[in-house]
Amino acid sequence: MRQGDEVAGRYRLDDLRGRGPMSEVWRAHDRTLDRTVALKILAPTADLARFRREAQASAALAHENVMRVYDYGEDAAGPYMALEWLSGGTLEDRLAGGAIPDDETHRLAEGIAAGLTHLHARGLVHRDLKPANVLFDEEGRPKLGDFGLARAAAGSGTLTEAGTVLGTAAYISPEQAAGEPAGPASDVYSFGVILFRMLTGALPFVGDDAFALAEMHRHTPPPAVESLRGDAPPELAALTAAALQKDPAQRPADGEALLAALGAASASHPVAPETDETRVLAPPAPPAPAGRQRRGTALAAAALLLLAAAGGVLAWAVTRPGASAPAGILSTSSGANTHRSGSVGTTQVALPTTQHGRHGPPHGKKRKHKKHEGTTTAAATTVPSNPTIPTTIPGTSTATTETTPTTTTTTTPTTTAGVTTTAATTSAGGTTTTATGTT
């Protein structure tokens, strides 16, 4: 393949980033989605089943510390896999300069352990965990990649398979080196080797060849971190020693156990995003003291009595013959002319009078209150604000007395479930007014 070639009519090859016996990796441009991807193309002589297994294992994972797979296919160029492009290099690149600062070592260890937790929770074992398979995105977040050896935890993994060394010898677990099945604790051992190197800048075992290294992992006790670096953080040194135990049962069981040892919460697992706003409900108000409730009831009753009295006056003003409606109330009297006087406490109202023909009764004679048919006119009068109203009609000396309609007020308090309701009912001139209040 050459720069500029296209794979599957979609991926343009921009830059060759790595080549090995099994595959080559290109930085490519996905023309369909307009994004940069890492395009891994299988070599003609490589293991196709393993390549497909890597694609399937990667597609089943979705975590911020795991490299994502976008696409898989087979083209004239060969089987390919489009992966998340990670531009930050690998952990192997960073370890080329020696040990990593302790704070950064702790952060990277947490990220690697979180990625392992995601794999192990889904029944997968990486089986080839090493610094070259820990990549970084542009924000410096570590991500696990290269799942070509990843299999279900119950699967069998041997040191050799069709002549291929499974697991880089410098990071392989004793059980894998012995041809035994690999489990989550196997990844924990490889994690221990990586942590040892981040703290000290060196490997726990160095040999002339892969088989010699495998034998050392199986039988030789690893050196203590403190023997190479006396000022190493005790908790990280202790975790390294625990992860490098020969017996898998003596190590932290899986990625989640590593996270717990590192003090990281399992909340780093991916969670579904929240769609609803968190709502804080205010606690219910405490009940008012009994004395306050009684005072509130008395005040409410007094207010209702005042409302009832006002309702009685209103009813009298509206219902008596010829009365004008108070301000804001439409009068229902037919043919009556009303207006407000400038005098305080008086109201100018038009009282209907019945005349014989065009003229009223003779001057000086008292009007008899009888119902006659005839013409009704309006006469101006002044109404004081008292129950008995003397009425003087201009042009006559007759005094007519009107009596306020009977007003009855009834107040009824009712208590239900701790709530007191007071109702005041006023009846005046055939009109009933009701006011209620709750305390």
Residues annotated as catalytic are: 128
Alpha carbons 60 and 58: distance in angstroms, whole number: 5
Parallel/antiparallel/unpaired status of strands 23-30 and 11-19: antiparallel
Angle between helices 102-121 and 255-262 (to 10 degrees): 150
CA-based nearest residue to 202, from 163, 166, 240: 240
Whether the CB-CB separation of 392 and 399 falls below 8 Å is answered with yes
What DSSP designation does 94 have? Answer: H
- DSSP secondary structure letters along 40-52: EEE-TTS-HHHHH
> Any idea how long the chain is?
439
Alpha carbons 310 and 316: distance in angstroms, whole number: 10
Tokens representing 198 are 């981040």
Sequence-ordered list of residues with C-beta below 8 angstroms from that of 94, at least 6 positions apart, any chain:
100, 131
Beta bridge partners of 28: 13, 37
Tokens representing 205 are 């075992």
Tokens representing 231 are 């000022």
- How many beta carbons lie within 10 A of that of residue 380, not counting itself? 14
Cα 37–165–191 angle (5° rounding)? Answer: 70
- Around 330, how many Cα atoms within 13 Å sit in the side-chain half-sphere? 2
Q: How buried is 8 (Cβ within 10 angstroms: 0-12 exposed, 13-18 middle, 19+ buried)?
A: middle
Sequence-ordered list of residues with C-beta below 8 angstroms from that of 359, at least 6 positions apart, any chain:
none
Q: Which helix (H) or strand (E) holds 228?
A: helix 225-228
- Around 335, how many Cα atoms within 13 Å sit in the side-chain half-sphere? 10
CA-based nearest residue to 242, from 231, 253, 227: 253
Q: Tokens 């439409």 sit at which residue? A: 330
